[in-house]
Structure 1
Amino acid sequence: MATPSTFRACVAIPLFLALVCPATAAEQIDQSNLPEWGGGWTHVNPTADGQAVMWQTFTPACTSLTAVEIDILTVNPGRGDDVLIVEIARDGVVLASAERSVEDGFDDLLRVEFPEVMPLVPEQVYDLRVRDTGKGQFGWKYGSNTYERGGRFVFAQERPGTDWFFRTYTTAEPAATKYSGGTGEPNDPYQIATAADLIALGETPEDYDKHFILTADIDLDPNLPGRKVFDRAVIAPDTDPNTEWDFDGTAFSGVLDGNGHTISHLTIVGRSYLGLFGHLGYGAEVGNLGVIDVRITGLGYCIGGLAGGNGRGNVTASYSTGIVSGSAEVGGLVGANHVRSGITSSHSACAVTGDNYVGGLVGDNAGGSGHWGHIGNSYSTGTVTGMGECVGGLVGVNWGHVTQCYSTGAIVGGTNVGGLIGSSGSVQEGWGIVTNCLWDIETSGQTASYGGTGKTTAEMQTARTFLDAGWDFVGETANGGEDIWKIAEGLGYPRLAWEKYSGGTGEPNDPYEIATAADLIALGETPDDYDKHFILIADIDLDPNLPGRKVFDRAVIAPDTSDTGNWFDGPPFTGVFDGNAHTISRLTISGGSRLGLFGSLAAASVSNVGLVAADIKGTGDWIGGLVGTYGGFLVLGGEVTNCYSTGTVKGNNHVGGLVGQSWGGRMSQCNSTCAVHGSYSVGGLVGLHFAHTTTYCFSTGTVRGGSFVGGLMGINGGEVADCYSMSTVSGDSSVGGLVGGNYEYFLGHGRPGIITRCYSTGSVSGSMDVGGLVGENTYFEDMWFEREGVVNGSFWDSETSGRATSAGGTGLTTAEMQMSQTFLDAGWDFVGETANGTEDIWWMDEGKDYPRLWWELQIDE
């Protein structure tokens, strides 16, 4: 009979465990006479540390979660107590976790409560995972199936190694709520989390005086379910399009806090008062909101990306991108900014087209009878095209006040065209006042304006230009202490301090621009942006001795927030990071686990960046110069392309010069010259390489470790092709010039490590299982039978390595290793030959050097 230590509880989880929303009671259904389970079985293994993991996905109907309830029946009592760990995860990242002990013989409803109420986003997919803390090293099976919400499921079959029997039940439907939460009061605003919430707001004029907050980015792409091409504004539309100038309908007079979120792909084809808001009324406040990739076409008046008209409301810290067109009073952000209305700390990159009163930010800034529309500390960068009169880079016609603003977009118009302001009221009568404003005379194509000062592009990208005009910048006090503006000197125009980076919107065609150390650090501190697009526009020095830098104690971007165990805590980076051929130098980290510029990547793309003179020391596992861990169990890896690292990387297990662990993705055209030191699974480029494809990479540093130490990789459980190592390698056991261990990392999967057309030349030393190319070359076809890994067309230099043997590959003399025919005969694709392919992967200086990758020569040139 099995002992309790051998048979711990392995958990079978169907889709609909009861997910308990706050103040919502679970109602167990009658489980008699349910249809017999007809699904298949899926084989699953314990994790590397022996803890069983079962999971299912679910899509929440409510916006928060307090507990999970599971109906448990112990099938075979007498096997001992255990502890369950229940986790809620999204995109492989654990968001909430709780433990519950389960007594032997338990047969009841087990409620597992989370320490805090966890917010959920309806329409998103989450994982519910259950682990037990047992250490039984055995395989087990479970059944699963998927039903629509409210469906029924029963699982009633014991499998080998399974102690418990789980049943499921449905929950009562949550009580109907307006929007995704809140009451609309100032201290409890209505929560707008979905496109349906936003549309519902627009269809509920009685709520226009309430308080709202966005809790998620919202995509209004008309091709998505439940969206459409609108024929009027989403919120506060003009209800009578036949009256061109007058607004008919209910203006929005409440408060909408964008909370740093965006509303994307808003598409409108209509007449007048078009935008996300048709008209903002008295007391309205809209802030911290981005409307991006808008497509708004109006045949009439008052057309803007954010609002058609602003009548005594205030817009702050908001922005727009996309295309806006109309007849008159057309602006990238607001069509018409009426008297006693304000726009501050905002900007637009929209391309704006119209007939009359057309501006990059505002079409018409009104004024009269001692009252003014006011625009302050704002800018526009989009193109402006006006067929008629009053066309300006910032404002088409200005009757109000404009203070400390600028514009840079190209401007084309008929009459009254200005680089900043197209036309203005009488300054003598107090109308059309423009104070300390500038525009770029080169990019705009305009040398004149009704207000403001024209400057060259170089002057517009120099802080002194704006400081002399009294602008309040971060880090200076002579012009004030509000820290309104910032600038990357000589690299771009001023940006508002609340903007997280030096430019861009994070979209694929307009990535966030990373120009300074502050930008890079801000990215790391903004997990909500980890799924966005970024581009380096300058080399960045992270020397901890420079102002604003430091010795980091965790990864700069996507760090492990707990650093306590095998599970990564914190969101991984899932976006796109293009280094644009720039470098990040002197990154210094002294911490625990998952260290590197990036702590964790999941389905991400990182390319074209060099880590120079990095100094990274970790006391734990998964340490790399660029990336700590890349992909993982149930997590897609993504791509790392054309990246390199120099410096020093030290850690415990899974340590690599570029990447600590790569799992389930692709790597190409990367290299490392780092000195790498670790205990287990240590490689010059990658520590642990599993279920991953790596091509056209190399390493040339020094690698020292205990077991499974390789010049390129410590352990290869994936595919490696057309790579090489010149690293000097030393270790105790399983030491190889290219790979320490070439085998399938998780036993029983029956897939070998594969090495094709690779070589190594560095010195190799160790005590046991030491090879010139590969130290150990085995995998397990099943749980018990050991097989050799695959090594094809690969070589090592038996002279320079000091090794006459290897667990795979062919040893050759230095002279043979510097002859192209050696490699041509093995099927290597060289420049200038076609018999082995036409990709032109390799080249060599015959008789003088080893083969080199063709891309290396192209970069050198």
Structure 2
Amino acid sequence: MLGTGTVANPYIIQTPTDLNNVRNKITTGTYYELGNDIDMSKFGNFTSIGGSTSATRFKCSFNGKGFSIKGIKIVGSSNFVGFVSLLDTATGIIKNVSFIDANVSSTALYTGIVAGGTTGTSLISNCFTNGNVDGNYHIGGICGMNGGTVENCFSTAHVTGNNHVSGIARMDSPTTAKILSCYFNGSFTIRETINPPSIFGVSGGTVSSTRLVNSYYNIDTTGLVATSNEFGIGLTDSQMKEQSSFVGFDDTVWGFQNGNYPYLKVFGVPPIPSQKIIVNLNSHLNIISSSLERSKRKVSIALSYSTSISSESTRTLHLMKNVTSHIDEIVSNVTTLQNANTKDYEVTSFVNRIGSNATRFVRTVRIVSSGINPIQIVTDIQIPIKIGQVVYATAYVIENPTNIDMVENQSLVNMIENHSNVKTITNQSDTNTKENQTETRVI
């Protein structure tokens, strides 16, 4: 821990371990300050600092410097349970520190979040608390039993006890104990049902108008209505948010925001809590008009034709075109002699080359098919005919389909040629039947 513990060079608390080590030196003339907010939520149970005897009371000065101790958990079973057990007279001081989400509980007497109790002229000043505090008897949101002075403090904690619960602190002897300019904006739970519960908005016990001064509580959150000065001054929730309600509050110490509760300036201006506001909105829409202009679009179907492949054509196309070309039949005239059974006849057919010359400018694939009709041979056969004799003759047909593929986006003129070759076939009456044979029977 930084510092030497003097008023000029106090110990600087920066970690949960530093905070826990405060208990190691709590003698008169020792000074502590917070160097930043301290998160105690993962520390585990924190044992109250000091004790209730004169030798173990907290005699130091603890200045929070406007920082917070968050999530502290304190569970005890002896009298005087809180962050510190009991502030010693004259030198015990805790100021300018807030306890956020505190959880303090005890099965004995005098339980508070900041301290179990105060004595003599010890002081708790400029502090606020929220969270939960739970004890047996004499429980307060700031201090369990106040024998010193609590000033300029407030609490929004939930205070629970068997009996004798107070929003800030209970006060008994000595008669010099005071609570000055404080307010309670929390709530209560009382477990005891046998005796009439003693619930005090600010403080209970031996209280007078000179000991409980300019201190207030929220009658809406506590459910209390003042019957004596022990309660403090009860205000509605809406009044608790008005600066004019807090008579005697020093505006150099306290800050006020319209529509919000008072705050201690040492901690800075708190964020404005979100509020639900219902707003009725009327909106109007002008007539929606539109101006339309129409243009007609006519879909046309264009048909194009091409000549046969044997012709020459130039095309610029955007659609697929099928081009079919044909050649004339191939006709062979054969003079047939008698005695076909003993002589060979030779038939020769020729097919000229199929050529096409096309210049194309296309955007899609073009498939051009070229074909020739089946080659037919017309043969006149003259043979001697005998009665009762069957004569056979065989004719051969040759087919030659030709396909031409055009390649997409050819920028040059392509010449595609397709030679069709026809073999010379000798027509013999005793040969075997070939493909696509045509059988002619002469009787």
Q: Give me the TM-score of the superposition, normalised by structure 1.
A: 0.30
Match of 2:338 in 1: none
Measured against aligned partners, the alpha-carbon deviations of 1:596-619 in whole angstroms (never above 9, x if no partner) come to: xxxxxxxxxxxxxxxxxxxxxxxx
Deviation at 1:581, TM superposition (A): 11
Partners of 1:419 and 1:486 lie apart in 2 by: 22
Match of 1:417 in 2: 199
Match of 1:51 in 2: none
Equivalent of 2:44 in 222, 228, 241: 228
Which one-letter code corresponds to 2:56 in the other structure? T
Deviation at 1:353, TM superposition (A): 0.6
How many equivalent pairs are there?
A: 273
Residue 374 in structure 1 maps to residue 142 in structure 2: no
Structure 1 residues 514-663: aligned runs within 5 Å: 514=272, 535-537=273-275
SS at match of 2:7: coil
Measured against aligned partners, the alpha-carbon deviations of 1:192-247 in whole angstroms (never above 9, x if no partner) come to: 11111122222x146564111111221222x4xxx3323x31x21x3xxxxxxx64
Match of 1:457 in 2: 237
Partners of 2:216 and 2:167 lie apart in 1 by: 14
Q: Indicate how the Cα distance of structure 1 residues 448 and 325 shifts in structure 2: closer, same or farther if over 3 A, else same.
A: same
SS at match of 1:185: coil
Residue 485 in structure 1 maps to residue 254 in structure 2: yes
Measured against aligned partners, the alpha-carbon deviations of 1:364-393 in whole angstroms (never above 9, x if no partner) come to: 22333xx4211112222221223349xxxx
Match of 1:299 in 2: 107
SS at match of 2:266: coil
Match of 1:383 in 2: 187
Deviation at 1:415, TM superposition (A): 2.9
Equivalent of 2:8 in 181, 187, 194: 187
Q: Indicate how the Cα distance of structure 1 residues 228 and 436 shifts in structure 2: closer, same or farther if over 3 A, else same.
A: closer
5+ residue gaps, structure 1: 1-178, 239-245, 390-412, 474-482, 502-511, 515-534, 539-579, 583-861
What fraction of aligned residue pairs are identical, expressed as a percent? 25
Q: Is the contact made by 1:205 and 1:250 (CA closer than 8 Å) also made in structure 2?
A: no
Bigger share in strand: 1
Greater relative contact order (Cα < 8 A, sep 6+): 2
Equivalent of 1:439 in 217, 234, 256: 217
Partners of 1:206 and 1:499 lie apart in 2 by: 26
Partners of 1:433 and 1:285 lie apart in 2 by: 19
Partners of 1:189 and 1:331 lie apart in 2 by: 30
Partners of 1:190 and 1:581 lie apart in 2 by: 51
Residue 357 in structure 1 maps to residue 164 in structure 2: yes
Structure 1 residues 109-120: aligned runs within 5 Å: none
Q: Indicate how the Cα distance of structure 1 residues 470 and 206 shifts in structure 2: closer, same or farther if over 3 A, else same.
A: closer
Measured against aligned partners, the alpha-carbon deviations of 1:312-354 in whole angstroms (never above 9, x if no partner) come to: 311111122211111112111111111xx11111122221111
Q: Indicate how the Cα distance of structure 1 residues 300 and 487 shifts in structure 2: closer, same or farther if over 3 A, else same.
A: same
Match of 1:346 in 2: 153
Partners of 2:107 and 2:135 lie apart in 1 by: 5
SS at match of 2:257: coil
5+ residue gaps, structure 2: 280-443
Deviation at 1:419, TM superposition (A): 4.0
Q: Is the contact made by 2:181 and 2:214 (CA closer than 8 Å) also made in structure 1?
A: no
Which one-letter code corresponds to 2:4 in the other structure? T
Residue 327 in structure 1 maps to residue 109 in structure 2: no
SS at match of 2:19: helix
Q: Indicate how the Cα distance of structure 1 residues 449 and 498 shifts in structure 2: closer, same or farther if over 3 A, else same.
A: farther
Q: Indicate how the Cα distance of structure 1 residues 209 and 387 shifts in structure 2: closer, same or farther if over 3 A, else same.
A: farther
Which one-letter code corresponds to 1:271 in the other structure? S
Alignment RMSD (CA, Å): 2.9
Match of 1:258 in 2: 64
Q: Give me the TM-score of the superposition, normalised by structure 2.
A: 0.55
Q: Is the contact made by 1:419 and 1:445 (CA closer than 8 Å) also made in structure 2?
A: no
Match of 2:322 in 1: none
Which one-letter code corresponds to 1:297 in the other structure? S
Q: Indicate how the Cα distance of structure 1 residues 463 and 296 shifts in structure 2: closer, same or farther if over 3 A, else same.
A: closer
Q: Is the contact made by 1:322 and 1:349 (CA closer than 8 Å) also made in structure 2?
A: yes
SS at match of 2:271: strand
Match of 2:116 in 1: 308
SS at match of 1:457: coil
SS at match of 1:199: helix
Deviation at 1:295, TM superposition (A): 1.4
SS at match of 2:179: strand
Measured against aligned partners, the alpha-carbon deviations of 1:670-714 in whole angstroms (never above 9, x if no partner) come to: xxxxxxxxxxxxxxxxxxxxxxxxxxxxxxxxxxxxxxxxxxxxx
SS at match of 1:289: strand
Q: Is the contact made by 2:99 and 2:129 (CA closer than 8 Å) also made in structure 1?
A: yes
Residue 289 in structure 1 maps to residue 58 in structure 2: no
Deviation at 1:456, TM superposition (A): 3.1
Partners of 2:39 and 2:123 lie apart in 1 by: 24
Structure 1 residues 773-788: aligned runs within 5 Å: none
Which one-letter code corresponds to 1:361 in the other structure? I
Q: Indicate how the Cα distance of structure 1 residues 255 and 435 shifts in structure 2: closer, same or farther if over 3 A, else same.
A: closer
Partners of 1:209 and 1:302 lie apart in 2 by: 26
Q: Is the contact made by 1:354 and 1:386 (CA closer than 8 Å) also made in structure 2?
A: yes
Partners of 1:492 and 1:314 lie apart in 2 by: 27
Which one-letter code corresponds to 1:316 in the other structure? S
Q: Is the contact made by 1:324 and 1:351 (CA closer than 8 Å) also made in structure 2?
A: yes
Partners of 1:183 and 1:336 lie apart in 2 by: 32
Measured against aligned partners, the alpha-carbon deviations of 1:794-836 in whole angstroms (never above 9, x if no partner) come to: xxxxxxxxxxxxxxxxxxxxxxxxxxxxxxxxxxxxxxxxxxx
Partners of 2:71 and 2:88 lie apart in 1 by: 25
